Each structure stands twice: as C-alpha cells, then as structure tokens.
C-alpha cells in the first residue's frame, strides 16, 4: 500500500515537472526571439531548480517537500548571488516552484 506521503510526493513531482516544462518552453521562446540575456537567466534558474530536485531525490517521502523547499531557497540565493535579474525572469521560476512546494507543506 502506498502511503499518503508517497502520493503527495508523486503529485508534487508531476506538478513541478509540468511547471519546469512551461519554464523550459518560455526560455526557448526567449532564445528563439533573440532575447539572449533573458533566456540565459531563465536557463540558469531552471538549472538551479533541477539541482535542488536532484539533491532531494534520496530523501524519505515524509520529509521530501520540507527538504525540497529548503534546497530551493538555497539555490535561489545562489542564483541571485550569480545573476543580476532586475526583471525577475529566473526569480519568478523559483517562486512558481516554491508555491507548489508550499501548497503541500
């Protein structure tokens, strides 16, 4: 029998993957339109979010969302330390994913 935490983790993973798909399409659209600076910010945020997901993959289902939220906050700080994002291109990506995590914690 699958526990409630495992179901929540699965639903969260599906929602995050869908959101990252949207963010990836947006970054590709920026790049195709020649807005390389904004595209670079979007791709950098997506990469940091994926690193956060990878770092939490081995966590137990019961604490996964909590650790993922913490890891995303750390990666967002790293992103902001490296990139000047006055328009919030990448910051909005982090906010979107953090909102999904917050909805289950």
Gyration radius from the chain CA atoms: 14
pTM of structure = 0.91
Binning pLDDT at 50, 70 and 90, where does residue 4 land? Answer: confident
Give the up-direction half-sphere exposure of residue 74: CA atoms within 13 A in the CB hemisphere: 12
pLDDT tens profile 8-38: 999 999 999 999 999 999 999 999 999 999 9
Q: DSSP state, 101? A: H
**How far is the CA of 59 from the CAs of 15, 80, 105, in angstroms?**
18, 26, 15
Within 1-105, strands assigned E span: none
Domain definitions of the chain by residue range: 4-102
Residue 2 has a pLDDT of 66
Binning pLDDT at 50, 70 and 90, where does residue 3 land? Answer: confident
């Amino acid at each position: 029998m699958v526990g409630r935490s495992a179901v929540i983790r699965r639903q969260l993973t599906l929602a995050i993957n869908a959101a990252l798909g949207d963010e990836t399409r947006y970054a590709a659209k920026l790049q195709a339109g020649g807005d390389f600076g904004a595209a670079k910010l979007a791709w950098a945020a997506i990469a940091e979010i994926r690193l956060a997901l990878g770092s939490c993959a081995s966590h137990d289902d019961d604490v996964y969302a909590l650790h993922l939220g913490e890891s995303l906050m750390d990666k967002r700080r790293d992103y902001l330390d490296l990139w000047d994002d006055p328009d919030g291109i990448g910051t909005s990506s982090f906010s979107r994913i953090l909102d999904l995590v917050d909805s289950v914690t």
